[in-house]
Amino acid sequence: MSSRISVELVPRSAESVRSEMAQVADRLRGVDTVNIPDLLKFDLRSWQATEVARDAARRADGTAYRTIPHIRAADVDPDAPLPMADEARRTGELLVVSGDDADYFHSATYPVDAVDVIRRVRAELPEVTVYAGLDPYRQAMTTEMRYLDRKLAAGANGIFTQPFFDTHLMAAWASVLPEGIDVWWGATSVTTSGAMGYWRRRNRVVFPAGFDSSMPWQRDFARRVVDFARERGHHAYLMPVRAPLLDYLGGVLDG
């Protein structure tokens, strides 16, 4: 299986997506995929943003970028049609995540979880590849693996990990993941002490000895994540946060 590289873009607006897609097409020739989260603080939903991204630019060989919209399980009304169904059929791929509880105070939510939504997507959109989330930090590995087993039993084809900050921990997880599933390993930019505090507090991350918030270290780690994924026939996604896209990835994926 050929490894794929994705950049995660924040859907602030259609204009911002178009602008960043132009940068990806111009400078990040190793990227073949774009994944986009669904963030309710923005008007543009993830499945609308993936359509904007595909229309905004094409790869150097003339082919279209593959796009993967995210959906948050608790936002999915069990009694209404899936709003992302048409776009999911076009993209052929969809990531279902649980989302953070704190985000739900500001929007309508429903009593469903990721397992419920994965099962529904598999039943209603059998042609779509469905990815589940995997969080290596917030709970014990055995607990997270049991949850992953339920998602796979519901019909997930593969996983997107939360961003990692340590390739040793990645290797430990790689050793216990089921064979034959698509795995997307994640990395993100953490360039301030405030950002480190956020990840520790919100996501329970333990940063390894030697972690450095400097941009050179961040770019080098992104490169190591890509290499790690390629060595295993897996995929990688890279998520710029509070860092310009090219400052973070221009030295990593500009071909």
pLDDT at 251: 82
The reply to whether 126 falls in a domain is yes
Cα→Cα distances 105→30, 43, 116, Å? 39, 17, 21
Residue with tokens 């993100």: 188
pLDDT at 254: 58
Mean pLDDT, residues 184-195: 98
Average pLDDT over residues 186-210: 96
pLDDT confidence of 103, banded at 50, 70, 90? Answer: low
Residue 104 reports pLDDT greater than 70: no
The answer to whether residues 210 and 221 touch, using CB atoms and an 8 Å cutoff, is no
pTM of the predicted structure, to 2 decimals:
0.95
In the chain, pLDDT over 90 holds for what percent of residues? 93
Q: pLDDT by residue (tens digit) across 44-96?
A: 999 999 999 999 999 999 999 999 999 999 999 999 999 999 999 999 999 99
> Does 50 map to a domain?
yes
> pLDDT value at position 221?
98
Q: What is the pLDDT of residue 5?
A: 98
Structural domain range at position 89 = 5-249
Domain CATH for 115: 3.20.20.220
What's the mean per-residue pLDDT of the chain?
A: 95
Q: CB of 133 within 8 A of CB of 162?
A: yes
Whether residue 199 contacts residue 252, with contact meaning beta carbons closer than 8 Å, is answered with no
200 in a structural domain: yes
CA 248 – CA 10 distance, rounded (Å): 15
In a domain, 151, yes or no: yes
Task: Give the count of domains, the chain.
Answer: 1
pLDDT tens digits, one per residue of 4-58: 999 999 999 999 999 999 999 999 999 999 999 999 999 999 999 999 999 999 9
- pLDDT confidence bin for 99, thresholds 50/70/90: confident
Q: Please check whether residue 254 lies inside any domain of the structure.
A: no
Q: Is residue 255 part of a domain?
A: no
In a domain, 168, yes or no: yes
Is the predicted pLDDT of residue 101 greater than 80, yes or no? no
User: Is residue 179 in some structural domain?
Assistant: yes
Q: What is the pLDDT of residue 105?
A: 56
